[in-house]
Copies of this chain bind each other. A is one copy, B any other.
Amino acid sequence: MALGQQPTTDQPSSSDQTPIINDFCITFSTINGSGSATANTTVLRALFRMGIPVSGKNIFPSNIQGLPTWYTIRVSKDGYLGRVEQDDIVVAMNPATFTREIQNLKPGGVLLHPDDFRSEITRDDIITYPMPVKKLIKESDTPTNLRDYVANMVYVGVLAQMIGIDLDKIYMALDFHFKGKKKAIDSNYNIITAAADWAKTNLTKTDVYRLEPMNATEGMIMADGNTAGALGSIYGGVQFAGWYPITPASSLAEALNEYLPQLRCDPETGKATYVVVQAEDELAAIGMAVGAGFSGLRSMTSTSGPGLSLMAEYLGLAYYAEVPVVVWDVQRVGPSTGLPTRTAQGDILFGHFISHGDTNLPILFPGSVEECFEFGWRAFDLAERLQTPVLVMSDLDLGMNQWMTKRFEYPDTHLDRGKILWEEDLQKMLDERAGDYGRYLDVDGDGIPYRTLPGNRHPKSAYFARGTGHDEYGRYSEEPGVWERVFTRIDKKYKTARKYVPRPIVNNMEGASIGIIAAGSADPAVEEARDLLAAEGIPTDYLRIRAVPFTDEIKEFIDRHECNFVIELNRDGQIKKLLTLYHPEQAPRLRYAAKMDGLPLTAHWIQSQIKCNEEK
C-alpha cells in the first residue's frame, strides 16, 4: 500500500492480541553523521530511568557521513542484554534501507517512518505509523542549521507516545546529555513533546508493544567498556599512556584524556600525576609505554588488531627484558584492516604467542563493562607483579556500546607494585645477601626477580636492560647455559602467574551434562542461550574464562563434562585451540562453535549450535 496516510482498517489490530510488555527490541535506522546518536541514547537512557533493563548496540559503517547505520535498543524485563536477530519496532529514517527494514520486522511488528517516504510497503502483517517530520520541524522555531539534527527528536516523541516512554525521564536523559544546558535541552524537548502530542491526536495504537516502569535498574549505571577501562586504569594509578588513534580503541585513550585531569591532579600542587602521549604510530606508542614501564611508571597503551600487529617486536622485548606494561586490545574484525567498525574475538592466539621466539603473554578477558573497570586496575598489578606485558582483550561490542552494568566498585586491594627496590630496599637486600644483588636473580624461587628503577641513586642500583642475551646480573652473555637458565626462569613466571590471575566464573545448573565455555563479550548471549536450552530441557553448566594462563578450575570443569562447547567470535576457534594446547588430555572433550560476521553473537544461534550438535 502507499505510504503517507495511515490506514485504519485492514491492518492487523492487536486489540484481541495480548500486549507484549517490556520485552521487545527497537531499531533506529538512520544515516550516519545525521546526529541520531543523541536521539537514540536519549531513548535508551529514558528507558533505563524507567527502571527497565536495556542495552543498546550501534551497527555503524567505517565512514563519517552518509552511509546507513543502525541503533538497536533491546528492552528486556528479564535483563537479557545480548543481540537478537529480528526487530519488533523499526524507526526507519533512511530511505536507502527502507525496504530492507520492512523485511526484517517480525509479523505484527511496528514501522515508524517519515510520512514523505515514497516507496511501497510490501507487507500487510505489520503496523505502520507515518510521522510528519518536516511539518513538525517547520512548526518548531528551530534555526535551519539545526533542523536536520533535531529532526531525530521527532521520532523520539512519536515513539514515546506510542509505546509509553515517560517524558520526564526523557527530560532527565536530555539534561544529562546536554550537561544541564537549558537552551539545548528545551529546544530538543519541545520538539519531542510536540511530536508526542501530534501522535496522541493523530495516531491510533494498533500494536502490542508497551512499556511499564519497573525497578530492575537499581544500583546500575549505563556505560561503555572503553570508558570503564580508562577509569579502571585511572584507579589503577596509570601514569603513562602512549596511544595512536584506531577504531574501536580510540575512545579508551580519549576517556583517559577526559577523566585524568579530574581525578589525578596532585591535591597539593595541582600538577598532573600522569602523562598521555598521542604517538606517531603504534610502534612508537608501545615503545613509549615500554620505556615508561622500565622507568617504573604504571604504563599502558590501547589499540586494536592492526596496532597490535605493529607492537609484536616491542612486546617481545618487554617479555624478555621483563618490563611491565599493559596493552588493551579492543578487538575488531580482522585480519588486516578487516571490518574496523565490527566486533570480534580474533586476536587471541596471535596475542598470546606474539613476537618471534618463545613467548606466552598473560591475557585478561573482561566479560562486562564493570569488569572492564576492574581489569583496568588489576592489569597493572598483574604486570608489575609478574614483570611482563599483560594483554587485556576487550572488543568493539563491549568497548563502544552502552551497557547497563553494576556500579564501578572501588578496588578492594592496594596497588601491587611487585618487587621494586628503592635505595633503602636495595641496601637492605645487599646487607642480607652479602652484597649479592642481580636484576634477574630469582631470589624467591617464584621466577620473579627484583627490579631497581632509573632514578634510584644507590650506586649499586643501575643495570643495563637489553633484548640481547644476559645473565642474572643483566650482563651481556652468549653463553648457551646462561641463555637457557635465564629463559627457563622467565617461563617459570608464567606458572607463577596462575596464582595471580582472576579465576573463571562457573555457573552450574541442576543435572547439566553439557559444559559451555566462553570469554569476554560472549557472556550475555551465552547466559540467555542457557535459559533457552534449559526451557527445552537441556540444562548446561557454564564456565567463563577470565584469564590466560588457565587455572585448575578450567581443567576440572572440562573433566566434569563429556562434552564442552567453546563459544567464540572468530573463525578458527582460538580459545578452543588454546585450551587444547594447555590441556591436551582434555582435548577430546572439547567442541567449539565459532562465528565471526562482525555482529555480536545471539542466544538463538548458540542455542541452535548446541542443539544440532546434541541431536548428532
- Interface residues, chain A, CB within 8 Å of chain B? 61-62, 304-306, 308-310, 312-313, 316-317, 319-321, 329, 331, 333-342, 344, 346-347, 349-351, 353-360, 466-469, 478, 480-481, 483-484, 487-488, 491, 570-572, 574, 577, 580-581, 584-585, 587-588, 590, 595-599
Out of B347, B355, B357, name the residue touching A344 (CB < 8 Å): B357
Closest chain B residue to A67, Cβ basis: B478
Q: Are B349 and A321 in contact (CB under 8 A)?
A: no
Contacts A468-B62, A571-B358, A580-B580 given; indicate if A596 touches B487 (C-beta within 8 A).
yes
Out of B310, B357, B488, B584, name the residue touching A338 (CB < 8 Å): B357
Number of copies: 2
Out of B331, B335, B483, B487, name the residue touching A355 (CB < 8 Å): B335
Q: Are A321 and B336 in contact (CB under 8 A)?
A: yes
Closest chain B residue to A317, Cβ basis: B336
A468 to chain B, nearest CB (A): 5
Closest chain B residue to A487, Cβ basis: B571
In the docked arrangement, what's the CA distance between A590 and B584, Å? Answer: 9
Q: Are A478 and B334 in contact (CB under 8 A)?
A: no
A139 to chain B, nearest CB (A): 37
Q: Are A584 and B595 in contact (CB under 8 A)?
A: no
15 A-B residue pairings within 8 Å (CB atoms) = A306-B313, A316-B334, A317-B337, A334-B355, A335-B356, A346-B356, A346-B358, A350-B353, A480-B597, A481-B597, A484-B596, A488-B571, A491-B572, A580-B584, A585-B587
Residues of B contacting A581 in the complex (Cβ-Cβ under 8 angstroms): 577, 580-581
Closest chain B residue to A477, Cβ basis: B339
Residues of B contacting A595 in the complex (Cβ-Cβ under 8 angstroms): 484
A322 to chain B, nearest CB (A): 11
A477 to chain B, nearest CB (A): 9
Residues of B contacting A339 in the complex (Cβ-Cβ under 8 angstroms): 468-469, 478, 483
Q: Are B305 and A309 in contact (CB under 8 A)?
A: no
Out of B466, B577, B597, name the residue touching A483 (CB < 8 Å): B597
Residues of B contacting A468 in the complex (Cβ-Cβ under 8 angstroms): 62, 336-340
Out of B309, B478, B590, name the residue touching A598 (CB < 8 Å): B478
3 shortest interchain CB distances as A-B pairs: A334-B357, A336-B467, A305-B356
A479 to chain B, nearest CB (A): 9
Most central of A306, A356, A484 by chain B CB within 10 Å: A356
Closest chain B residue to A481, Cβ basis: B597
Closest chain B residue to A308, Cβ basis: B356
Q: Are B341 and A478 in contact (CB under 8 A)?
A: yes
In the docked arrangement, what's the CA distance between A96 and B595, Å? Answer: 62
A531 to chain B, nearest CB (A): 25
A503 to chain B, nearest CB (A): 24
Closest chain B residue to A485, Cβ basis: B597
Q: Are B599 and A480 in contact (CB under 8 A)?
A: yes
A484 to chain B, nearest CB (A): 4
Residues of B contacting A484 in the complex (Cβ-Cβ under 8 angstroms): 595-597
In the docked arrangement, what's the CA distance between A572 and B353, Å? Answer: 11
Can you add 19 more A-B contacts, CB < 8 Å, to A357-B570, A584-B588?
Answer: A316-B336, A317-B335, A319-B335, A320-B336, A331-B356, A335-B358, A335-B467, A336-B468, A337-B468, A344-B357, A346-B357, A347-B356, A349-B353, A350-B355, A350-B359, A358-B571, A491-B571, A580-B584, A585-B588
Most central of A331, A349, A466, A570 by chain B CB within 10 Å: A349
A546 to chain B, nearest CB (A): 21
Closest chain B residue to A310, Cβ basis: B313
Closest chain B residue to A336, Cβ basis: B467
